Structure 1
Amino acid sequence: MPKLLGAPASNRNREDSWFKSLFVRKVDPRKDAHSHLLAKKEESNLYKIQFHNVKPECLDAYNKLCEDVLPSIHADKYYPCELVGTWNTWYGEQDQAVHLWRYRGGYPALTEVMNKLKNNKEFMEYRKERGKMLLSRRNQLLLEFSFWNEPLPRQGPNVYELRSYQLRPGTMIEWGNYWARAIRYRQHNREAVGGFFSQIGKLYMVHHLWAYKDLKSRESTRNAAWQHEGWNEVVYYTVPLIQHMDSRIMIPMKTSPLQ
């Protein structure tokens, strides 16, 4: 990259380091799967995130249907799964619902739940009715980063932000290395809810889930992070790893464990 004549040495060094970060991976060759290096070892939790785009005229009926059926599955120990949270998108894609499920026991638990739900008449009727209300739907299977909190029920009222990052292939370890240090800058107001990376579905996807009392609190909390030495460096070095990013502000449904 050409250097401007007379530019301070510190600026030139910073410019060079940013340029190199676009191409040079600071990760040693490993034989381990990335998921083994990044995910929590003490538990074998698997997460599923669902995005449902609802016909605008059906949103109220859709919410009522979910509130009638999903909590019963969450509460029934027959199914090794938990409803972590369920929301409507407030800002972002409109008329959208987001559901996050946890399967304690990993893929075997997921398979067990799927097989059992096939024999659940109430759930099968729910799926039939739900299908009439949707424009589209998609999902992903996720693992949780080892350095994030496990998302646990919390009292409200809160608004939630789901920040989704499409990373450049091959950069997940580097992202994890930076955020393992960065997360400590974002714990002061208990805003960090959970951090996940995709295993099935769109790959090299990262989802960070945050909770705030309101949008004003979100603004002040995010601004405060810049006052911590080291936060600016994390942002500086992780931005080149991102191909695309998206932010949703979400409102919990009445029966969501995350309020």
Structure 2
Amino acid sequence: MYYTTQPKDPEIFVPLIKLKFLHLLFHRKLAFSNNRPREDSWLKSLFVRKVDPRKDAHSNLLAKKETSSLYKLQFHNVKPECLEAYNKICQEVLPKIHEDKHYPCTLVGTWNTWYGEQDQAVHLWRYEGGYPVLTEVMNKLKENQEFAEFRKARSNMLLSRKNQLLLEFSFWNEPVPRSGPNIYELRSYQLRPGTMIEWGNYWARAIRFRQDSNEAVGGFFSQIGQLYMVHHLWAYKDLQTREDIRNAAWHKHGWEELVYYTEPVLRNKRSHRNGKPVHRKEE
């Protein structure tokens, strides 16, 4: 099933995309709902200062200062026989929360897994205003009878669930609508404790090598939930374009060195998810 939703700003169209993923690959739906310009993101990445890990908390050193957005990433493992019903009730309820100005939150994306972990749903929410806004939304949802019924019905369809609260890296783009069609790749990394600042310093420089085709969608690091996690989201026209862009990066002076120095900070193997839209309208 497919659906689209309208954003809080009626002038902005919010797509919901169904994607097929390859290799920890996903069958996902993706929605972007904030079209605030970030034309200066690439230019800012050229002048990112090196962060001194002794000066402040990771969240203050690495996150964006001009916004206070908090993200929630949800993973729901659905009973195989319930996936269609699960998607249906999500389509009926979640867009209403996104569209209602009473709830200061944004449904950035919602997906179903295709390959890798089967029958998994993933949702990404944005709370502009940080923890106070998250608390406000949660308290309001407790009073929402429709949402209470949704949660009760959903609980009978799930095997397990978990979530993470994330912040955006200051040197990454904010997820916004883009012209399509595209495929999307989510690359997740678990870092060794104490190496987040080091990762941020390397990628503040490395991102310069990956902006030529506007492929960088968003970069996040965990605050609550599974710690020391990093998620990078990329967009490509198709799989061949993805391969060409990634191969081209290796011919740029400095890219190989930066990749080499990020390897020691990784704790576990990376998780890669590549996606191809089946039905979509991105702008």
Q: Report the CA distance between 1:127 and its aligned residue.
A: 1.1
Structure 1 residues 141 and 150 mapped into 2: Cα distance closer, same or farther (>3 Å)? same
Unmatched segments (≥5 aa) in structure 1: 1-25
- C-alpha change, 1:27 and 1:205, in structure 2 (3 Å) is same
CA deviation map 1:218-259 (0-9, x unaligned): 22222121121111111100011101121123467979x968
Equivalent residue runs for 1:22-171 within 5 Å: 28=52, 30-171=54-195
- Pick from 235, 238, 241 the counterpart of residue 259 of structure 2: 235
Deviation at 1:108, TM superposition (A): 0.2
Gaps of 5+ in 2: 1-49
Misfit runs of 4+, over 4 Å: 26-29, 250-255
Distance in 2, Cα, partners of 1:159 & 1:88: 15
Describe the shift of the 1:216–1:187 C-alpha distance in structure 2 as closer, same or farther (beyond 3 A): same
Q: 1:92 to 1:212 in 2, by over 3 A?
A: farther
Task: For 1:225 and 1:52, locate their aligned partners in 2 and report how far apart those are by CA, in whole Å.
Answer: 35
Question: Match of 2:197?
Answer: 173
The aligned amino acid for 1:112 is E
- Deviation (angstroms), 1:91: 3.1
CA distance in 1, matches of 2:282, 2:120: 17
The Cα offsets for residues 88-142 of structure 1, whole Å up to 9 and x where unpaired, read as 2233312111111000000000000000001111111111111111111110000
What is the one-letter code of the residue matched to 1:211? A
Q: Distance in 2 between matches of 1:252 and 1:122?
A: 31
Q: In the aligned structure 2, how far is the partner of 1:178 from the partner of 1:136?
A: 35
Among residues 222, 229, 240, which one is paired with 1:216 in the alignment? 240
Quote the residue 1:247 is aligned against. 272
How much has 1:36 moved relative to structure 2? 0.6
Q: Report which of the two has the higher share of helix.
A: 1
RMSD of aligned alpha carbons: 2.1
Rounded to whole Å, the distance in 2 between the matches of 1:247 and 1:68 is: 30
**Does the CA contact (< 8 Å) of 1:44 and 1:105 recur in 2?**
yes
Aligned to 2:33: none
> Aligned partners of 2:227, 2:79: CA distance in 1, in Å?
27
One-letter code aligned to 1:248: R
Cα distance per residue 1:175-233 (max 9 Å; x no partner): 00010011111112221110000000111110111122332322222212112111111
Q: TM-score, normalised by structure 1?
A: 0.84
Task: Output the TM-score relative to the length of structure 2.
Answer: 0.77
**Aligned residues, how many?**
233
State the identity %: 76
